[in-house]
Chain A
Amino acid sequence: MTNCESSELNPGPCRTEEHRLHRRLFLKGLTGGALATVSSFSGLFHNRVFAAATKKAQQHCILLWLCGAPSQFETWDPKPGRPSGGPFGSIATKIPGVRFSSLMPKCAGIADKLNIVRSMKTAQTEHFQAITLLQRGNPERAGFVRPTFGSALSQAMGQLDSPIPNFIFLDPIPGGNEFEAFKAGNWAGWLGAEHAPVRLGGDYTQFLNAATQTIPQHDRESRETLRKFLTAKYERDRQSGVARSQNAAFERMKGLAASADLFDVNKLPAKDRERYGPGSFAQHSLMARSLVEHGAPFVMVANGMNWDNHVFQHEIHQMLVPELDRVLFHLISDLEERGLLDSTLVIAMGEFGRTPWMNAARGRDHYPNAWSMMMTGCGLKRGVVTGATDADGVDVIEKPYNEQNLFATLFTALGIDPSAEYDLPGLPTFHRVEDKAEPIRDLLA
């Protein structure tokens, strides 16, 4: 049993305010005897009974964003012995007849809990455009900025009054070339700043503590009272959507500061930290699990553009893939043990794959023609491998899927209608996923 029945949670056309999830939880809160303590809609989440119910019903998503793009040959679609195969072998998995790269023994052991798509076929060959495509799920339309997946989920699944942001982005690396350019852009698009990510991780997390450490408590309260008065007045007088968004973002940050410990790697259990591995990606993946346990709807973990191995492909993938293998094994096992896997969608993917041919710099280059990704958890079957590539991994030969099929699958798995229209007065009609794209039905529970 999952919490993902689309008939129950399907929000229909999205509106920025009352979301079906919240209304359903509102009713739950009432029937739970919480009515007496509820004085306002936003106050619901201060009620313990209601908060507990919310936490239980909340769906989550963890996106391990393998930015730079991992090689499908060294992960989910090995071709050992072929000219494209590279130096690493393959190993049998829990799924009969299915083999993973020999760099992924732990995932091979839980392959029956994973789903692999081996037939992703997309059109963008450069990072920035491909990240945009695979973060927003649809081709660009000039003049309009579509929300990223995290922002769309923030709107569709987020809690109204949670101290934990609805869209958390953990990435400790400030640079990252094309990814940095993307990160500086507009994540939330037409949904507004309240659905933009709160970026933390690494040194960024220190900012959380910095404010509280430098300003005395009484001074903070005075400043806050004044800020609230002025910004509320501005928002009311000017009917300003921008001010509303900024105020919402400020409230988020305020709540965030109160939850600073959740973002402190050093506060994570030592044994868990050891299990996940010492690297910054592994530690932030563990943090993502912890945040989901504390109710975060969407957490995206990245680590710069580590996977973009135009140089030293095999020399670097020999380290990155085992780290990913270890992280996925523990993350999925932990979520399952905690009863959270049925309500948490876990995705591991980049923006495309790598070329079947090696360049002269010992690297593999960008390849959107045939690549692989993994998803499991909420709303999905387990142990399915769908799509196929040819013997060399050059072309998709079975069930090609693009970014729209992918996003239709992800939304559907989370009980969100992928074909729903956004409510955008004055703008053209936009849907969560355009062109009535079909989800990958092989994977849907």
Chain B
Amino acid sequence: MKLTLIHSHELPAGVLGLAVTPDGHRAFAACADGALLALDVAGGGAEAFEGRHQSFASGCALLPNGRTIISGGYDGMLLWHDVETRRCVRRVQAHPFWNWQLALSPDGNRLATVTGQYLAGGWKYEPAQETEPSVKVYDTLSGDLVAAFPHAPPVLSCAFSPDGQHLAAANMMGEVRVWDLQSRADDKPAAQWTSPDFTSWGTIKTHHYCGGIYGLAFSPDGTSLLGCGMGPMTDPMAGNGKMTWQRWNWQKGERTDQIKDGQHGSGLMEAVAWGPDGKHFVMAGRQAQGTWNAAVFSAADGSLLHSIDTKQRITHARFTADGQRLILSGAIGQPKRTGELWPPWGRLQIYRVEA
């Protein structure tokens, strides 16, 4: 397994959300300046969509028909865009607070959005309970809300199962809930567990919580769920917790595997993605210490197969349908203003995947 960089593009603002056409020729980037951009992956030319978010654009999902893309933002809005005309055709206020992440069901009929503000709920700054459902599901055709589920905010990540029947969502405290979208018995989760290995409470400096599960992905066979983030730190402001993934048998809520000792550096991992054949997966994020910030792992035994240092923070990873390309979105540290200009700090990189 080997990743080789073949294209690298700069974008005006950090990229927080990424969607890619199945053939990998076009990419869509949700950016920290509120814009949604369409990019020619090979040439790098970017065109902005008309509709913008009033805060960071945090995610985007391309419907299977290729004609509609939906973006989410820290303004709590969902925007439906026509890909051809780049016009905004629908606006829905999904949440009063941020949309942290979006997930699209495999058939493209359902869009999940997760939210929640971290507010003080106790002496030790335990998160306060939600005041609105933290997980919502929208019909992508009509824009109607079709389901809402309770969780403990802030809920950072979500993913649909390959058959579209289950939705998983995870939060800052490492709690994962999985719902059956068809039975929906009292909206109770079909499975629920908490991993303490993603959350920090500073024993020095910062007496509050941070971290959590920033990325979720079901395995292609639907039997397991993968989550990523950063391990606990005594000083969370060091940002040097262990690069972490864990894999669970989600129906039992049991951990079946995790990143191996000696194979990780430190830093927040924000992205996980399965290779289409289910034989490997990639985890990526920011490197605080170590030798890599994106790595491919074997699905069979969880061992590290290949790693690269992209010199940037990675927010999302997407394989093309044939598995031969890997597209990474992200950001560098925002450069200082030069005169009246702010240098570009968004990044998009395309890698060739070789067995």
Contacts and interface: CB of A to CB of B under 8 A. Distances in A.
B55 interface: yes
A279 B204 contact: no
Given A304-B204, A306-B206, A282 B120 contact: yes
A283 B331 CA distance: 39
B123 A309 contact: no
Contacts of A359: 333-334
Interface residues of B, number: 50
Contact of A280 (B55, B207, B288): B207
A315 B118 contact: yes
Given A304-B204, A358-B334, A392-B337, A311 B239 contact: yes
A280 B202 CA distance: 14
Interface string B192-236: 000000000011111110110000000000000000000000011
A68 B125 contact: no
Looking at A89, A360, A363, which has the most chain B CB atoms within 10 Å of its CB? A360
B262 interface: no
Given A279-B123, A310-B239, A312-B210, A360 B205 contact: no
A87 B56 contact: yes
Contact of A357 (B56, B123, B267, B335): B335
Interface string A169-180: 000110111011
B210 A280 contact: no
Given A177-B205, A308-B206, A357-B333, A279 B120 contact: yes
Dominant SS at the B interface?
loop
Interface residues of A, number: 45
A173 B207 contact: yes
Interface in A89-148: 89
A322 interface: yes
Given A278-B121, A311-B237, A315-B210, A358 B342 contact: no
Nearest to B212: A315
Interface in B3-25: 13-14
Interface string B104-128: 0000000000000111111111000
A77 interface: no
A351 interface: no
Contacts of B32: 87, 358
A11 interface: no
Contacts of A172: 207
Contacts of A277: 120
A320 B237 CA distance: 15
Contacts of A278: 120-123
Interface string B229-262: 0000001111100000000000000000000000
Contacts of B75: 89
A185 interface: no
Given A83-B334, A358-B14, A394-B337, A68 B205 contact: yes
A308 B205 contact: yes
B204 A176 contact: yes
Interface in A297-347: 303-306, 308-312, 315-316, 318-320, 322-323
B98 interface: yes
A356 interface: yes
A210 interface: no
Nearest to B128: A278
B237 A280 contact: no
Contacts of B119: 318-319, 322-323
Contacts of B120: 277-279, 282, 319, 322-323
A88 B75 CA distance: 8
Given A83-B33, A87-B55, A309 B237 contact: yes
Interface string A159-187: 00000000000001101110110000000
B118 A356 contact: no
Interface string A68-90: 10000000000000011001110
Contacts of B337: 83-84, 356-357, 392, 394
Nearest to A323: B120
B280 interface: no
A177 B236 CA distance: 12
B136 interface: no
B54 interface: yes
Contacts of B342: 83, 392
A319 B125 contact: yes
A304 B206 contact: yes
A305 B332 contact: no
Interface in A342-395: 356-363, 392, 394
B151 interface: no
Contacts of A392: 337, 342
Contacts of B172: 315
Given A357-B334, A360-B331, A306 B55 contact: no
Nearest to A172: B207
B313 A360 contact: yes
Nearest to B341: A83
Contact of B236 (A312, A322, A356): A312
B210 A304 contact: no
B166 interface: no
Interface string B135-160: 00000000000000000001000000
Given A89-B55, A177-B204, A323-B120, A358 B333 contact: yes
27 contacts: A83-B342, A87-B55, A87-B56, A87-B98, A89-B75, A173-B204, A176-B204, A176-B205, A180-B204, A278-B123, A280-B123, A304-B205, A306-B206, A308-B205, A309-B237, A312-B210, A312-B211, A315-B118, A318-B117, A319-B117, A320-B208, A356-B337, A358-B14, A359-B334, A361-B268, A362-B268, A392-B342
The 8 closest A-B pairs by CB, nearest first: A175-B204, A311-B239, A357-B334, A279-B120, A360-B333, A87-B74, A83-B342, A359-B333
